[in-house]
Structure 1
Amino acid sequence: MFAVRARPGTLRQVAPQLNRRAILRAAGVAAASGAVFTTLPRLATADPDGDEQHVFRHGVASGDPLPDRVVLWTRVTPTDDAHPGSGRGPSSTVRWEVATEDDFREVVRSGEVETGPGRDHTVKVDVSGLDPATRYAYRFRLGGATSPVGRTRTAPAHGAAVNRLRLGVVSCANWQAGFFAAYRYLAERDDLHAVVHLGDYFYEYGSRQYPMGYDIRTHEPATETITLSDYRRRHGQYKTDPDLRALHAKTPWICMWDDHEVANDRWSGGAENHDPESEGSYGARRAAAYRAYFEWMPVRPDDIPLYRRLRFGTLADLSMLDLRSYRSKQVRPFSAEADDPGRTLTGRAQFDWLADGLADSSARWKLVGNPVMIAPLLIPPLPREQLGALLNVLGLPAEGGVLATDQWDGYAADRRRLLSTISRRRVSDVVFLTGDIHTSWANDVPVDAGSYPLSPSVATEFICCSITSDSVGDLLHAPPRTTSLGVETAIKTLNRHVRFVELDSHGSTVLTVTPGEVRMDWYYLDNRARRDSPSRLAHSHRVSSGTPRIVGPPLPVSLP
């Protein structure tokens, strides 16, 4: 099936773990597509004006493309007081239209949908009856106002032979930490079939809480997001960014949440960045965050499970994992509990869905949208300043530790079961696409990292850099490609399966999938503090079909 769902596992209700919050307070800071796809003329990505800017000020978006359907999204502002999270404004009837050309002379699907303050004036339509592998234009209307025109495309038919799939892969966009020039770069391309967002679409922190004590831009609301109104306002603020709106309007997105869409380092029953004594019930907070997410994001379900599988002909399956809703509470570094088979990262239902889906897939490539790092990572001995910066981006406490316990390292039994399944069932061409840690990596994923390379690699992993969120290089306050070079060398020396790591840069990545190989290209910004920052191709790594090892070398890097 193109989209597969399973019932979620049981959520454990346990008091949350506190570490990063305490640390913050103690520190004084609270190329062309395959032939099966048709094309449309290029659309402008300029900001809308007039009634479009007032009524449809949060833009348009599409997502979760299937061969015959796609989700369309917008938000309307019917009156001046109907701003996000206000609970004000009248109910409205919004018309939507889908056409084969951007002049809308041939409308192929249309309809009307009701919205109002009960769903924060957001509009979401799952449009069916479309043709596979086809580009469409879409728009919305309310009264005399017409939205900006969006573009989307459906997936190929399940049995179609696809020559090429090209995906933007992104994560970790912190409004306060800079401008979204990395989104602008992707929006300027005409060759992406979709954008895969691996989580941390926004950050929950208040002003000057995170990153460490500075704001390039100021969060709205200025306080941490806790209530439904807070989360709606934060979603609304992010969708006023013109580069984010342009990318949403240009191509369909395939999104998964990580932790910051609710609270940092969250698990099934709590979060590091949630204090029940001062912030109330974590369950209520999570419910508010989930409701706002489903209102504001172009995803198909209106409830969990959010994990799902998309298919792109016979070339690739993409399994999007939810690694927050069902996980056991994180353990402390060095704890033997990290290997406890009773603990889980995925939850049992999602694990079985993933393992069976990989084993039963008939696609050439099995791509896994994987919010947190799956390759094991040992932390090398480093000078105190360098160690602290590395531990910060990995979410580890300042006293250090061998295990990155918020990642798959902290759930070793689940990882061992999954990699054993891949090996035992002879599943080939598995590639994990990962976000979360604000840095760039290309990893082999061995069954036993301790004996690698004698132990075989059974999969590979590409990790995208952050859109803006602090990297190790930012936290070291050193010029790019200076102090971090020694940290990178130490990591690769101690972790022989890490084939590439870059700890400084921000930007976006582009994944190109062909029958013979999967290649990741990293595009780095010159300066995240500039909306007009140039973006340059900095590195490329690839994996060939049938050989689960990263190959290079990387492309030469031109320093800014």
Structure 2
Amino acid sequence: MLRTGSLAAVGGAALTGPAVAAGAEQPFRHGVASGDPLPDSVLLWTRLTPSADATPGSGRGVESVVRWEMARDAGFRRIAARGRVPTGPGRDHTVKADVTGLEPDTWYYFRFSWRGATSPVGRTRTAPTAGSAVRSLRFGVVSCSNWQAGHFAAYRHLAERGDLDLVIHLGDYLYEYGAGSGVPRRHDPPVEMTTLEHYRRRHAQYKTDPSLQALHAAAPFAVTWDDHESANDAWAGGAENHTEPDEGTWADRRAASQQAYAEWMPVRYEPGGTLYRRLTFGSLAELSMLDLRSYRSEQVAHPFDGGIHDGERTITGREQLDWLTSGLTTATAQWKLVGNSVMISPVQFPSTLTTREFGAITELVGPVEGVPYNVDQWDGYTSDRAAVLRALRDHGVSGTVFLTGDIHSGWAAELPADPLTYPLSGDAVATELVCTSVTSDNLDDYLNVRPRTLSLVVEAAIKLANPHVKYLDFDSHGFSVLDVTPEQVRMDWFRLADRADPASAAEVTASYRVPAGTGGLERAPRSMDGIVPRYEAATEHARADARSRALARQEER
């Protein structure tokens, strides 16, 4: 029997709240979304604005009940499930419905309604049955979307493809900073967010972006947070961008950020629970989404600090590390994908770079201070990294690919079990594919130079010092598309022409693949458009919708 999860359907309870007058503003003005697809369920999300005063973060507005329904066709003639969910100011009028009892590997359409008003229609997809044969998967991969740095044309391009099974957002979905000057668009609230009201308002602002709304309506998301969802360089007990007592206690600020995240994101997470989780796509792939902020030890002050090798310090927390390594070593799926918010690849920053170049890299990746490591990444927690790579090597695990964000640049790197002796020590045990930023500043922005000029010198120096790094692009803003098949995992990196232009064009800049049975990377042959949209799949969905509408008309006659 179809039912909803933790926010259970409320049966025949009457809808409450003021009626929506004809011509009134859409009460579902923050769009619709879905996430965390399982073979028999998917999470649906929206936000209701029941009255003009019930603005995000205000704490105002009446308790209400929202209807939802799912269908196999865009015309909602073949209803698969329906229910009701209560909401109110206690959860900022956000709505989550965890719909179960669905068919695996199936596209569904969904919408919400309240007092005669209907939300935009969203499309989502359940995962294939565990262990079933899957021929291909296609994922959008994004990270670092700063509202103030530009428009979200990257999301628009992904939404327009019509061929994504899932969008993987690897963190920095929003930024905590106050309103800047001379920026394409300013943050709301205009102050740095530190309270629950602030975090709710900022989430709401981001979800007014039409390109982000379009992408959320086009495919389900799997999300994790990085630091800017709370504060820069966050760790379990504080953050670089948090000052006590002026900004209150870190415990209160972190709780506020996590509550707003749970309310406003299409994710199976509630405050006090765990964000890390695993999604399975038949026998082809498993996706482990990590949380690398909630349990980590404080970052060391500088890379010369021996604490980076201290086995008592952790980036994952012990329970999550055990969960990750046991999941990787016992997985039955061919490809083990890891949603990883900060780079796991070791990176040596060469001493040949100038002071200006080091300064720009420091702005980009953190306090490297002209020395080898970025201590906010796994480089600052080498014991945890070694444990993961040893587990892969000792158990002979193949097909592990880390998908990473955070660093505002595109990378493709091999992960050797012993980075110090690579490549003499043998093949890599895993690979890492890093997407660039949607809008957040890159190296050319910090250097204030034209793209693909001075950055080329920096990239060449870093690749020379790090032979496991096969691809590096410090300048581009955009998105990535990941193709997963039994033969390979392939990523295409797409670059926006102009992040300040919501209508910006995009072009593919690089394509790399991991052939099955190896831990190595190689350039992938590509067309001018990189991974070509599967328009035939979108066309088949349209044909199926047309057939279902025709059948419904026949039944009516």
What is the rounded CA distance, in whole Å, between the counterparts of 2:527 and 2:34 in structure 1? 36
Give 1:319's aligned residue: 288
1:239 corresponds to 2:207:
yes
Alignment of 1:121-520 (within 5 A): 121-208=93-180, 214-303=182-271, 304-331=273-300, 332-381=302-351, 382-396=353-367, 399-456=369-426, 457-520=428-491
What is the rounded CA distance, in whole Å, between the counterparts of 1:71 and 1:269 in structure 2? 31
What is the rounded CA distance, in whole Å, between the counterparts of 1:363 and 1:557 in structure 2? 32
What is the rounded CA distance, in whole Å, between the counterparts of 1:244 and 1:470 in structure 2? 19
Q: Using the TM superposition, give the Cα deviation of residue 400 of structure 1 relative to its aligned residue in structure 2, in angstroms.
A: 3.0
What is the rounded CA distance, in whole Å, between the counterparts of 1:336 and 1:447 in structure 2? 21
SS in 1 for 2:95: strand
Q: Using the TM superposition, give the Cα deviation of residue 401 of structure 1 relative to its aligned residue in structure 2, in angstroms.
A: 2.7
Please give the per-residue CA displacement for 1:309-338, whole angstroms capped at 9, x wherever unaligned. 000000000000000000000012211110
Q: Which moved more, 1:300-309 or 1:247-256?
A: 300-309
Give 1:14's aligned residue: none
Give 2:555's aligned residue: none
Give 1:542's aligned residue: 513
Describe the shift of the 1:142–1:350 C-alpha distance in structure 2 as closer, same or farther (beyond 3 A): same
Verify the 8 A CA contact 1:538 1:557 in the aligned structure 2. no
What is the rounded CA distance, in whole Å, between the counterparts of 2:417 and 2:462 in structure 1? 19
Moved over 3 A (4+): 50-53, 553-558
Q: Using the TM superposition, give the Cα deviation of residue 54 of structure 1 relative to its aligned residue in structure 2, in angstroms.
A: 2.2
What is the rounded CA distance, in whole Å, between the counterparts of 1:76 and 1:557 in structure 2? 42
Verify the 8 A CA contact 1:170 1:464 in the aligned structure 2. yes
Verify the 8 A CA contact 2:405 2:437 in the aligned structure 1. yes
Describe the shift of the 1:51–1:342 C-alpha distance in structure 2 as closer, same or farther (beyond 3 A): farther
Q: Using the TM superposition, give the Cα deviation of residue 556 of structure 1 relative to its aligned residue in structure 2, in angstroms.
A: 9.0
Describe the shift of the 1:420–1:91 C-alpha distance in structure 2 as closer, same or farther (beyond 3 A): same
Please give the per-residue CA displacement for 1:326-362, whole angstroms capped at 9, x wherever unaligned. 0000012211110000100100100000000000000
What is the rounded CA distance, in whole Å, between the counterparts of 2:366 and 2:374 in structure 1? 7
Which of 483, 496, 500 lines up with 1:525 in the alignment? 496
Q: Using the TM superposition, give the Cα deviation of residue 553 of structure 1 relative to its aligned residue in structure 2, in angstroms.
A: 6.3
Runs of at least 5 residues in structure 1 that lack an aligned partner in the other structure: 1-49
What is the rounded CA distance, in whole Å, between the counterparts of 2:26 and 2:350 in structure 1? 53
1:102 corresponds to 2:74:
yes
What is the rounded CA distance, in whole Å, between the counterparts of 1:371 and 1:195 in structure 2? 15
Q: TM-score, normalised by structure 1?
A: 0.88
Q: Using the TM superposition, give the Cα deviation of residue 102 of structure 1 relative to its aligned residue in structure 2, in angstroms.
A: 1.1
Runs of at least 5 residues in structure 2 that lack an aligned partner in the other structure: 1-21, 530-557
Verify the 8 A CA contact 1:539 1:556 in the aligned structure 2. no
Q: TM-score, normalised by structure 2?
A: 0.89
Higher relative contact order (CA 8 A, sep 6+): 1
Q: Using the TM superposition, give the Cα deviation of residue 390 of structure 1 relative to its aligned residue in structure 2, in angstroms.
A: 1.2
Output the amino acid matched with 1:506.
Answer: H
Aligned residues: 504
Q: Using the TM superposition, give the Cα deviation of residue 301 of structure 1 relative to its aligned residue in structure 2, in angstroms.
A: 2.3
SS in 2 for 1:74: strand
The structure with the largest alpha-carbon Rg is 2
Identity among equivalent positions (%) equals 57
Describe the shift of the 1:556–1:359 C-alpha distance in structure 2 as closer, same or farther (beyond 3 A): same
Verify the 8 A CA contact 2:490 2:524 in the aligned structure 1. no
What is the rounded CA distance, in whole Å, between the counterparts of 2:526 and 2:434 in structure 1? 17
Question: What is the CA RMSD across the aligned residues, in angstroms?
Answer: 1.4
Please give the per-residue CA displacement for 1:92-147, whole angstroms capped at 9, x wherever unaligned. 11000001111111211111111011100000000001000000000000101000
Please give the per-residue CA displacement for 1:173-227, whole angstroms capped at 9, x wherever unaligned. 000000000000000011100000000000000012xxxx642110000000000
SS in 2 for 1:353: helix
